[in-house]
């Protein structure tokens, strides 16, 4: 079974229309770390490096490596570039044929924090103790897809009408059909077929001589999918330095998620088109907004067996998130003679839990004198063990289906990160990094790659600054804006979304 991201499942129950799906689980559980510009510039291959506040996300022992206290703030810019166009059927376009590229810039704050180091003045044994509070962004959801074109084969209005077939008008009004169909009914996107009590026709359609509905004439179609928000980890950190050879640390992490999703589908009449209903346009929008928080612990070490070599590893406990979600549906339609579009909207609020499994990472780094640093990281995370859960007082929501899908089609992800730093002078550093993560989906190839570049400046005094740019290439998505019941055997459009994400970061820091 090849899983395609169907943006709407018209026959689904209402609670399944929110963020409780396989693909949302992949997004919420995954990380594509930002943080400080130095860490990002080195490809986040910093598990065995330490010394930088961005590295604490990967290994809490990193705070003990630097022999000084520090404060950093990192403003950032996220630019999403998305190319959207309909795929071909039998070698020909069949909807959304326009090539549309959308860029979406957003400002953010990938890193903010401070670490204070206490010197015990011991020459051996426990030499320093560090305490820190650091916040780092661990996932950026910024993404905005647009697509448009024409269609002379199928229609959203007709699809909505087809899903309503079999329901009486009273049942549609009283909430016995799925939520989206009810909103479309109240928005008069479809109407009863004359003489029929449970058969419907879209305002984009006409009746054939045999009494069946078909698209009246070619129509214009638009699609927009906007996603925004981020995952943010606030770390309370402690680190210990033993004889400048062995460092251990622990984090208490509070992870928060803010996520906004808006899907807008529209259809409009074309000049010269013949539409018996007087169709002008229709619009359906589904939105949900999530707020979540969870807590976890992480412990790690860095060993320095020789002056140039460092080895590090860390393990993070599972995280249990508590989600609060507000979901809404809105519809509108306009036909000739109507004074204004007819609108219908509803919203609902849900609560549920979401659990991620443990995360393990390890790294090795080697310094060549005071001139260069090379590092490599490996991270393991098993998406097949991600689970949705009910809250203790919720007897309505059932996550059996999506949890079975996660168990069957999720798989362990192996992430590899490499990075390097070259000291061009005592004040200037040049950095480069590369990331590769395998696909979390058994059946769909959705591996991720990213490249990063950075510069660092360290003044003779307390001030330092780092700049980094990262280019991340996201997996392609296939999106079906609407569908008909299988019995109709109508081919509907499919949009291919090709996206990339560029992050620019500037870290300003002070040692004290």
Please report whether residue 286 resides in a domain.
yes
Task: Give the position of tokens 């070599």.
Answer: 309
pLDDT of residue 50: 93
Residue 7 burial (CB count, 10 A): 19
Pick 283 or 344 by higher pLDDT.
283
Confidence check: pLDDT of 10 > 70: no
Could you give the 3-state DSSP secondary structure of residue 274?
coil
* Domain around 60: 5-85+98-152+226-268+279-322+352-511
Instruction: Give the H or E element holding residue 259.
Output: strand 246-269
Could you give the 3-state DSSP secondary structure of residue 125?
coil
Strand partners, 337: none
Span 155-168, pLDDT tens digits: 999 999 999 999 99
Span 199-216, pLDDT tens digits: 999 999 999 888 888 999
Strand partners, 387: 355
DSSP 212-242: -EEE-S-EEEEEEEEEEEEEEEEEEEEEEEE
The CATH number that applies at residue 427 is 2.40.160.60
| Contact status, residue 118 vs residue 128, Cβ threshold 8 Å | yes
pLDDT of residue 231: 97
Confidence check: pLDDT of 11 > 50: no
Pick 50 or 486 by higher pLDDT.
50
- The model's confidence at residue 393, banded by pLDDT at 50, 70 and 90, is low
Average pLDDT of the segment spanning 477-494: 88
Please report whether residue 197 resides in a domain.
no
Please report whether residue 208 resides in a domain.
no
| 185-210: b (≥16 Cβ within 10 Å) or e | bbbbbbbbbeeeeebbbbbbbbeeee
Please report whether residue 205 resides in a domain.
no
- The model's confidence at residue 14, banded by pLDDT at 50, 70 and 90, is very low
Could you give the 3-state DSSP secondary structure of residue 61?
helix
Confidence check: pLDDT of 396 > 80: no
Q: What are residue 343's phi and psi, to 5 degrees?
A: -120, 145
Please report whether residue 79 resides in a domain.
yes
Confidence check: pLDDT of 95 > 80: yes
* Chain-centroid distance, C-alpha 39: 21
pLDDT of residue 242: 97
Please report whether residue 45 resides in a domain.
yes
Please give the torsion angle defined by the CA atoms of residues 25, 26, 29 and 31, in that order, rounded to the nearest 10 degrees. Answer: -150
Span 309-364, pLDDT tens digits: 999 999 999 999 999 999 999 999 999 988 778 888 888 888 999 999 999 999 99
The percentage of residues in the chain with a pLDDT greater than 70, rounded to a whole number, is: 95
How high does pLDDT run on average in the chain? 92
Pick 10 or 408 by higher pLDDT.
408
Please give the torsion angle defined by the CA atoms of residues 159, 163, 167 and 169, in that order, rounded to the nearest 10 degrees. Answer: -30
Please report whether residue 328 resides in a domain.
no
Confidence check: pLDDT of 475 > 80: yes
Confidence check: pLDDT of 4 > 50: no
- The model's confidence at residue 391, banded by pLDDT at 50, 70 and 90, is confident
Kindly state the DSSP code that residue 196 receives in the 8-state scheme.
-
pLDDT of residue 346: 82
Task: Give the position of tokens 């928060």.
Answer: 256
Domain count, the chain: 1
Classify burial at 372, counting beta carbons within 10 Å of its beta carbon; exposed 0-12, middle 13-18, buried 19 or more. middle
Please report whether residue 118 resides in a domain.
yes
pLDDT of residue 8: 37
- Quote the CA–CA distance of 317 and 253 in Å, as a whole number: 10
Whose CA is closest to 132, among 177, 82, 70? 70
Confidence check: pLDDT of 68 > 70: yes
Please write down the HEC assignment for all residues of 63-120: HHCCCCCEEEEEEEEEEEEEEEEECEECCEECCCCCCEEEEEEEEEEEEEEEEEEEEC
pLDDT of residue 92: 85
| Contact status, residue 180 vs residue 503, Cβ threshold 8 Å | no
The percentage of residues in the chain with a pLDDT greater than 90, rounded to a whole number, is: 82
């Amino acid at each position: 079974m090849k899983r395609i991201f169907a943006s709407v499942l018209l026959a689904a129950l209402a609670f399944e229309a929110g963020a409780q799906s396989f693909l949302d689980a992949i997004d919420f559980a995954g990380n594509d770390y930002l943080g400080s510009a130095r860490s990002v510039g080195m490809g986040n291959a910093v598990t065995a490096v330490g010394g930088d506040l961005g590295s604490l996300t990967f290994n809490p022992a990193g705070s003990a490596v630097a022999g000084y206290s520090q404060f950093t703030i990192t403003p950032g810019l996220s630019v999403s570039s998305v190319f959207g166009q309909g795929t071909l059927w039998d070698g020909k376009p069949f909807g959304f044929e326009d090539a549309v590229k959308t860029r979406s810039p957003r400002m953010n704050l990938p890193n903010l924090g401070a670490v204070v180091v206490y010197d015990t003045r011991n020459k051996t044994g426990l030499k320093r103790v560090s305490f820190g509070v650091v916040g780092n962004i661990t996932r950026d959801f910024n993404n905005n897809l647009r697509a448009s074109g024409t269609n002379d084969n199928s229609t959203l209005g007709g699809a909505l009408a087809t899903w309503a077939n079999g329901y009486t008008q009273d049942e549609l009004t009283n909430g016995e059909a799925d939520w989206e169909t009810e909103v479309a009914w109240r928005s008069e996107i479809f109407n009863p077929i004359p003489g029929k009590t449970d058969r419907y026709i879209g305002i984009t359609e006409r009746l054939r001589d045999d009494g069946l509905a078909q698209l009246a004439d070619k129509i214009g179609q638009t699609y927009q999918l906007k996603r925004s928000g981020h995952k943010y980890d606030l770390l309370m950190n402690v680190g210990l330095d033993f004889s400048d050879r062995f460092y251990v640390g622990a984090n208490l992490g509070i992870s928060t998620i803010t996520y906004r999703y808006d899907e807008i589908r529209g259809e409009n009449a074309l000049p010269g088109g013949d539409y018996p209903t007087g169709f002008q346009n229709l619009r359906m929008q589904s939105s949900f907004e999530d707020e979540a928080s969870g807590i976890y612990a992480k412990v790690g070490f860095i060993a320095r067996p020789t002056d140039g070599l460092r080895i590090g590893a860390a393990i993070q406990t599972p995280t249990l998130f508590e989600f609060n979600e507000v979901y809404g549906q809105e519809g509108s339609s306009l036909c000739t003679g109507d004074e204004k579009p007819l609108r219908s909207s509803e919203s609902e609020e849900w609560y549920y839990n979401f659990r991620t499994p443990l995360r393990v990472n390890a790294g090795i780094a080697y310094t060549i004198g005071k001139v260069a640093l090379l590092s490599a990281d490996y991270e393991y995370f098993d998406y097949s063990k991600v689970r949705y859960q009910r809250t203790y007082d919720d007897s309505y929501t059932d996550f059996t289906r999506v949890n079975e899908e996660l168990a069957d089609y999720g798989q362990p992800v192996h992430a590899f990160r490499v990075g390097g730093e070259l000291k061009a002078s005592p004040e200037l550093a040049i950095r480069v990094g590369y990331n590769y993560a395998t696909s979390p989906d058994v059946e769909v190839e959705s591996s991720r790659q990213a490249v990063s570049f950075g510069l660092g400046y360290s003044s003779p005094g307390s001030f330092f600054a780092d700049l980094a740019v990262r280019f991340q290439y996201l997996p392609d998505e296939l999106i079906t804006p609407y569908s008909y019941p299988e019995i109709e055997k109508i081919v509907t459009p499919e949009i291919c979304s090709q996206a990339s994400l560029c992050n620019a970061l500037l870290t300003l820091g002070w040692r004290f």
